[in-house]
Structure formats: C-alpha cells, structure tokens
Chains A and B, each alone.
Chain A
Amino acid sequence: MWDFIRERQDQLLYNAFQHFSLVMQAVLVASVLAVLLAVVIVRYSWLQGLANALSAIGLTIPALALVGVMLALTGIQPISAFVAVAFYALLPVLRNAVVGLQGVDPTLVESARGMGMSPLAVLWRVRLPLAWPVIHAGVRTSTQMAMGIAAIAAYILGPGLGGYIFTGLAQIGGANAVNYALVATLGIVLVALVADVLLLLLGRLTISKGIRA
C-alpha cells in the first residue's frame, strides 16, 4: 500500500485538498443559509414544527438517492455534488441554530431592546453571539457528515477522494482495488480530522470567554 501511495502522492494530495475544499465551501454556504433560516423560523413559531419535520425527513433520504435526484436536476457536474453536500450540511446547523437562538434568555433580549438596540443589533450583538456555541457545534457535526457525503457525491463527478473508492469498487478483485478503497477512506478520515481541528480553533477564537463551557 505504501508504494501505491508513493506513486500517486501528488494526485492524492490534490484530491484530498479538493475534498476538503468542497466540504468546507458547502458547509460555509449551508451554515449561512441555515442561520438565516433559523432566524426566520424562531421569529415565526408556527414554522418550528414544520422545520423540525423537514429536517428529520431530510436526514433520512439516502445520500445516494439524493445524488441521483441531483443528477436528474442538474446533470453530471461538480455543482450537483456541491448542492448535494450543502443540502446535508444544512440540516444539523439548522437544527442547532434554532435550538441555540431559542435558548437565548428572553430577559436579555428585552434588556437589549430596553437599552435602545435595534432588532438587527440585538440579533447581531446579543442573540447570535449567545447562540454561537450551539451553532458552532452544529457546524462541526455537519462538517463530519459532509466528509462522507462528499465521497458519495464523487459518483456524479464531484471532486475529492470519493472517486478512488468508486474506482476500487468498480474493479473489485483487481490488482489495486483494495488499495484504492482503503487509501481513499483513510484519506477522508484524515481530512475530516484536520477539518475538525481547524473548527475547534475557530471556536476558540470566536466563542466569547464569558460563555465558553
């Protein structure tokens, strides 16, 4: 296996980076969308049941099935992979953002309003910072999940390490089949670990010391 890696070193590194980049971009877009959605959902309480049900159903859709649906919608191209990954990444962040925003003490919000903060300022300076630890945890979960989804999205030509797994599976019994699958899987685990460490650092930098656990 060592030789296998050595021979494809550059290519593997490139694909690992692609994998990382796909996931991070998808998670970033998904997180921003999820937080925006959560703000709306928390504002209108009747949306909460609906949102919970939808995200529960969303997580039950098999990744491969969604990838299939994307295929029908946007065809075989990297953007389809991106949308599929982002869709899954959105759900855990959405759920945590709703919980986090709901968990903000209403007296703090009233206190902020009472001091003359506009609703937008209350959101930006009080509610989001206070909900951020919970949202951040959601982002971490979602990144880990997205690592696996991105592998499957390689089926429709998504970039990253998933391609190796499919190559391996396609030539099972062949010379390097096991190497392809194994190296790609380990690679994804490594990329996932790196991403998690980076997110931990981000948390350290962005979660106020006053509310850190």
Chain B
Amino acid sequence: MTTQHTTGHTSGISGAEIRLEEVVKRYPGQKTAAVESLSLTIPAGEIVMFVGPSGCGKTTSLKMINRLIEPTSGTILIDGEDVRKSSADELRRKIGYVIQGGSLFPHMTVAKNIAIVPKMLGWDASRVKGRVDDLLDLVGLDPSRYRDRYPRELSGGQQQRVGVARGLAADPPVILMDEPFGAVDPITRQRLQDELLSIQRELRKTIVCVTHDIDEAIKLGDRIVILREGGHIAQYDTPEVVLASPADDFVSDFVGSGSTLKQLSLARVNEVDLRETVTARIGEPTADAVQRAEAAGERSVIVLDDRDRPRGWPWLRQLKGDRIVEPTEDLVTVDERSTLNDALDTMLTSSHGAAVVTGDRDRYIGIVTFDTVTDHMRLLEDRAVEDRAHEQAAGERA
C-alpha cells in the first residue's frame, strides 16, 4: 500500500490511516475485558482524541496500536498493514510516542533525546543534526540555545515541547500521545495545544491522543472518541456533533451541560472577525511607531521580530529610546485555531482586554477583543433560541 505517498503529494497529508478491527484486551485473572471488541477507523491526517473516565480502556487502546500492550485478539492495521507483520521494535520506530511531561531522558541532552529514533534507524550524523535543529525550530525553541541543554535545565513546557519534537523525530506517519499536556500549568497547556495545532496544520500526521479532559478533546480533535468502561465507543464524531447532539446520557453527562460557554470551545478564533492594530518592528525608530499609533488613535503597539512573531505589547509611554528594542515581557498569544474559550482566558490575564492572534510559525495576524467574543456569544444564544422555537413549532405540528 502506498496511499501514504500518493496522498502525500496531492493534499499534504503525511499521516496514515489506522484501523482497529474487533480488538480485544483481556488480562488474565480479570472477569471483564479491559477492552471489549473495539472497531474504529482513524482517517489519515486527522487528530483523533480518545476521552473517557479513568478505567475506560483509552490508554490500553492507544498502547495496543504500538504494541506496548499486545491485544488478546483482533487486528490493527496501519496504512493497511497489520502491525504484527514486523517486530514490535521496528513498528515502534515508525510511530511517534509522546507521553506526559515529555518523559525526556535526564542523562541525555535535548539533541540526544531527539536523535534517539533517527540514530536507531541508521541516519548519518549530519542528517540527524540537521533534523534536530529543524525540529527544535518547529517547536519554537532556538536550536543554538537549547540543543546542548539537559532536561532539568528546561521548564515543564519546554520539556514537553522537546517531547513532541522527539515524537516527530523520524517523521513517522502516526503519532500516539498519552495525556501529553497533563503535567503543565493551564496557560502553558493552552500554548502547547496551540502549537500542536499549528504544527499539525503543516505536517498533517495521523495523531491519536488520549486525554481525560473533554475541553482538550474538543479543542484538539478533528474527531472525538468517547469511551465508556470496557472500551465501548459511546460516540465517535466531530466535536461539533458531540456537543450539539450527544448520543446518550453518558455522553451528555461526560461532555457537561451544553451551555453557551462550552460552545465557546467550539468556535475557533479564525471564525470571528479579528481587529487590526498598529505594529512596530524591533529596531525601527520609536518616533515612527508612536506617530503611526497616535494617528490610528491607539495607545499601544504590538512589537514584531524579523519573522513577524509578536514579542510584546507595550503601551506607548513604555517605549523608551530611539529605536524599538526587544521587549522583555512574556507575551501570551493565541493561535488562530484556538478556541474562543482560550482566547477569553488569555484576555483576562492581559491588561489590554484583548489577545494577540498568531498563525503558522507564530506569525502575527491580528487581535481579538472582548467585544468580538460577546458578539459571538449573543449570536450563539440567538441561534439556540431560534432552534428551540423551531423544535417547538415542529412539536406542535406533530
């Protein structure tokens, strides 16, 4: 099967389809099966989220794909090929594996951690080195600064980024993630999720990700598998459908009330109208920037670096010196594929009452404000009222 290559050329998908056919996992000495006949097709190039309460078999199901757990019966096919065809070690070198906290080897440098799989695959040294630098760049870490550091010299979020880079190292078509962002604080988590979406937009891998956090599943997933005990699929659909029409009480309980606020997790930032504001570039004369801002009636400017990445959002009075210098603040941005929910979070921590929106490779796109979000909420509410009216009308007719 060469679908991977053919589709790779036509639509940029580098992922491969995964099929689980009546997969069963039974542990000896246990009455009920951990996973009882799971059948599922994961389309190439999509992110599919496994969610469910603990003990629902989501991690077991994930680990059966790379044979860390061997199924009792059933078949798993990746790109049409049975995973049991090659040895478990060979199989795993072709599947990225990212787990909580990044799970970096503390005795190896960042570069060595990332290089593990490429080296096992026999890549030559210069190719490995180039790949490591590319990947560090991709996950937003400056290679010259971070390549030779040890994991303990990195923050939790940075470690997790390296973990993702390591999972991508040998350019595998399939990546498995087990609670990848479970060990970091909410702001970092949101940022890492945004970055993953941005990376995925470029790479189009098949990503299977386990989480217990329904909000994370809604945000990251092209599709969500909601599992109940024994690995039974309660619902397998897009986040929109899962939220709008839960299959049963189990799902609606798990998803939580379909309030307007939850709906904000469905709307992406790129679906609402972004505002433009004044930007300045590091190194340009401060007076020019101030003049532009005042002409536009703004009291602040967004400072971009030479790669259009927003670095800071100073007020005009904070701009000192002849030229714009690199801001020292740690600007929290939102990816254009972030949910409005995340954008709202970010706005709440910003003194500007708005959030800076970025696209591919963290490039600046615009800003999203409270007004935009409240407008959107009003729209959602109106729509819900209309829907109810329709239903009532339909009910009366019946």
Q: Give A residues with C-beta under 8 Å from B.
A: 107-108, 110-118, 121, 126, 129-130, 208-211
Contact = CB atoms under 8 A, between A and B. Distances in A.
User: Among the interface residues B66, B105, B109, B117, which one has the most CB atoms of the partner chain A within 10 A?
Assistant: B105
Greatest chain A CB density within 10 A among B89, B93, B101, B166 is at B89
Contacts of A111: 97, 99, 103, 105
A110 B67 CA distance: 12
Contacts, number: 62
Given A107-B99, A111-B99, A210-B150, A116 B106 contact: no
B108 interface: yes
Contacts of B9: none
Contacts of B100: 107
Contacts of A117: 89, 116, 120
A121 B116 CA distance: 11
Interface in B43-84: 66, 68
Given A111-B99, A210-B152, A116 B108 contact: no
Chain B, interface size: which category? 20 to 34
Given A107-B101, A115-B116, 12 more contacts: A107-B99, A111-B99, A114-B68, A114-B92, A114-B99, A114-B176, A116-B93, A116-B94, A130-B107, A208-B108, A210-B151, A210-B152
B118 to A, nearest CB: 11
What secondary structure prevails in chain B residues at the interface with A? mixed
Question: Which of A110, A114, A130, A209 is the most central at the interface, judged by chain B CB atoms within 10 Å of its CB?
Answer: A114
Contacts of A108: 103, 105
A208 B107 contact: yes
Interface of B: 66, 68, 88-94, 97, 99-101, 103, 105-109, 116-117, 120, 150-152, 166, 176
B242 to A, nearest CB: 29
B120 A116 contact: yes
A107 to B, nearest CB: 5
A116 B87 CA distance: 10
Given A107-B99, A210-B150, A116 B89 contact: yes
Contacts of A208: 106-108, 150
B92 A113 contact: yes
A111 B101 CA distance: 11
Contacts of B93: 115-116
A211 B106 contact: yes
A210 B103 CA distance: 14
A111 B166 CA distance: 11
A211 B104 CA distance: 12
B103 A113 contact: no
A24 B316 CA distance: 70
A126 B151 CA distance: 14
B108 A114 contact: no
Nearest to A126: B105
B103 A116 contact: no
A5 B101 CA distance: 61
Given A126-B105, A208-B107, A210-B108, A116 B150 contact: no
Interface centre among A111, A112, A118, A121 (most CB of B within 10 A): A111
Contact of B92 (A115, A210, A211): A115
A91 B267 CA distance: 64
A116 B92 contact: yes
A211 B97 CA distance: 23
- Top 8 A-B pairs ranked by shortest CB distance? A210-B150, A116-B92, A208-B107, A116-B93, A114-B97, A111-B103, A116-B89, A129-B107
A108 B116 CA distance: 13
A118 B91 CA distance: 12
